Amino acid sequence: MLTAKPVHLRREYDVVVVGAGPAGMAAALGAQESGAEHILIIDREKEAGGILQQCIHMGFGLHHFGEELTGPEYAQRFLREVYDWGIDVLTDTFVADIDGMRQLKLMSGTHGVHLISAKAVVLAMGARERTRGAIRVPGTRPAGILTAGLAQKFVNMMGYLPGKNVVILGSGDIGLIMARRLTLEGVKVHGVYEIMPHANGLTRNIVQCLHDFNIPLHLSSTVIDIKGKDRVEAVTVAPVDEALQPIMKKKQDIECDTLMLSIGLIPENELSRQLKLRLDPLTGGPIVDSAMETSMNGVFACGNVVHIHDLVDFVTEESFLAGRSAGEEATGQRRPGDNVRLMPGENVAYCVPQTISTDREHTLYLRVRKPLDKSTIRFGDVFERKLRYVFPAETVTVKVTPRLLQNFHGGALRIDVTPR
């Protein structure tokens, strides 16, 4: 592993990036490319790389590098580049505060409490996992209830098992990956219970992590009770009806010592809230324009802070753009504004960025609410395109070019994804 060289903290930076995961590292490289000179990446963990450090499975980089890498390998390639360019990486440091003048309060075990300021800031804090409280699973509160990401940290980073007998609630990707990981460690994984009629993770993970290891996936089923005083002793599962209400006649107890939750991610936006950025209730992240700038001038955002991504490759692409824009801002290069506001319509859960321009090329990331076999994506009556199957767990990416928008002169543009 590459280790950070000692950082001599400046009082002022061109660009400060909060978070040294894939988003933060790509953003810093983007800022460097557009001419910013003093760039600092800050991360609260001991080493850069973000959550990729604990994702030791394969499957990263197919889009970006055209080859299959592990999480740490993917992170390593970026970190090497970051170091090669002489970009400062300050780890083990927590950004406690940030204000509208882009002054940041840092806390660290080596530097103590410090204030620094930046011409542009990129928010790349990633996401956190939803916990039991978010879905209020009834029952007792023993040890042995944990999120899949925490289980992954115990196993892959610390060399311990979270339990020997596991039931998984929710079919998010981390849960699927951990179902396989724990099975390989000799842990009994009873099955994955998903309240929705469709899985929440990527199809390739359903196949490679569950089917290949004979781990059952129970759709339209959920955990309705947790038993055990000190440690989990059993959970009660039941299928649900169309209104997602448990069918009590069919409930059943499963003896286990661990309930692992993989029920989704939430963008980490504590700093965004301090800055009073405008947040999009659909994404849970800040509203961004086509340069990934938030509602506050000089503050940019990218990665899972903005919306939950399914592939790191898309994070990288989006974050390069955010970093380039931040670098342009810091070096006084003017960027043209947007003139199109995108409005999620039928079967569109959200769309990022929220605004674009008719005279540049853009990549849009959007998610659908319901799976469809064959569908059409329609941008108002300006243009439409056929899509193969769409699925809530998989991001739809659409390239929009000036040519496609040549007959549109700005304003609101509604996006619908309908059956064909």
Q: Which of 34, 147, 200, 325 binds other proteins (CB under 8 A)?
A: 147
Number of residues that bind other proteins (CB under 8 A): 59
77 counts as binding other proteins under rule CB under 8 A: no
Whole-angstrom Cα distance, residue 363 to residue 48? 27
Residues 342 to 371: which contact other proteins by CB under 8 A?
none
* 417: three-class secondary structure by DSSP: strand
Binding span for other proteins by CB under 8 A among 145-153, 199-207, 291-299, 366-374: 145-153
Kindly state the smallest distance separating residue 110's Cβ from other proteins, in Å.
Answer: 6
129 counts as binding other proteins under rule CB under 8 A: yes
Whole-angstrom Cα distance, residue 105 to residue 125? 15
Whole-angstrom Cα distance, residue 192 to residue 198? 12
Whole-angstrom Cα distance, residue 151 to residue 154? 5
278 counts as binding other proteins under rule CB under 8 A: no
Kindly state the smallest distance separating residue 395's Cβ from other proteins, in Å.
Answer: 23
Cβ proximity to other proteins, 160 vs 241, nearer residue: 160
Cβ neighbourhood burial of 65 (10 Å; 0-12, 13-18, 19+): middle
Cβ proximity to other proteins, 143 vs 387, nearer residue: 143
Pair of tokens at residue 398: 């659409």
303 counts as binding other proteins under rule CB under 8 A: no
62 counts as binding other proteins under rule CB under 8 A: no
Sequential DSSP letters for 293-332: B-SSTTEEE-GGGTS--S-HHHHHHHHHHHHHHHHHHHTT
Burial 273-305 (b: 16+ CB within 10 A, else e): eebebebbebbbbbbbbbbbbbbbebbbbbbbb
225 counts as binding other proteins under rule CB under 8 A: yes
Whole-angstrom Cα distance, residue 213 to residue 210? 5
Binding span for other proteins by CB under 8 A among 17-25, 142-150, 304-312, 387-395: 142-150
Whole-angstrom Cα distance, residue 374 to residue 385? 11
Distances in Å between the Cα of 342 and the Cα atoms of 62, 115, 308, 361, 411 are: 29, 38, 18, 15, 9
In degrees rounded to 5, what are phi and psi of residue 113?
A: -105, 130
Q: Which residues lie below 8 Å from residue 384, measured CB to CB, with a gap of 6+?
A: 376, 377, 378
420 counts as binding other proteins under rule CB under 8 A: no
Cβ proximity to other proteins, 91 vs 316, nearer residue: 91
57 counts as binding other proteins under rule CB under 8 A: yes
230 counts as binding other proteins under rule CB under 8 A: yes
Cβ neighbourhood burial of 354 (10 Å; 0-12, 13-18, 19+): buried
Q: Which of 6, 66, 133, 332 binds other proteins (CB under 8 A)?
A: 133
374 counts as binding other proteins under rule CB under 8 A: no
Count of CB atoms situated within 10 Å of the CB of 372: 18
Cβ proximity to other proteins, 205 vs 357, nearer residue: 205
Q: Are the beta carbons of 95 and 42 closer than 8 angstroms?
A: yes
Binding span for other proteins by CB under 8 A among 154-162, 316-324, 329-337, 370-378: 154-162
Tell me the per-residue interface mask from 237 to 276 with other proteins, x by CB under 8 A, - otherwise.
---------------------------------x--x---
Residue with tokens 């390639």: 77
Binding span for other proteins by CB under 8 A among 22-30, 135-143, 368-376, 384-392: 135-143
Kindly state the smallest distance separating residue 225's Cβ from other proteins, in Å.
Answer: 8
Q: Which of 33, 99, 185, 359 binds other proteins (CB under 8 A)?
A: 185
Residues 155 to 174: which contact other proteins by CB under 8 A?
155-164
180 counts as binding other proteins under rule CB under 8 A: yes
Q: Which of 63, 229, 374, 420 binds other proteins (CB under 8 A)?
A: 229
Tell me the per-residue interface mask from 78 to 117 with other proteins, x by CB under 8 A, - otherwise.
--------------x-x-x--------x-xxxxxxx----
**At CA 186, angle to CA 144 and CA 229, rounded to 5?**
20
Kindly state the smallest distance separating residue 227's Cβ from other proteins, in Å.
Answer: 8
Distances in Å between the Cα of 207 and the Cα atoms of 67, 237, 304 are: 20, 23, 25
Distances in Å between the Cα of 333 and the Cα atoms of 7, 242, 302, 323, 353 are: 28, 54, 20, 13, 21
Residues that bind other proteins (CB under 8 A): 44, 56-58, 92, 94, 96, 105, 107-113, 128-129, 131-134, 136, 138-144, 146-147, 149-150, 153-164, 180-181, 184-186, 208, 224-226, 229-231, 270, 273
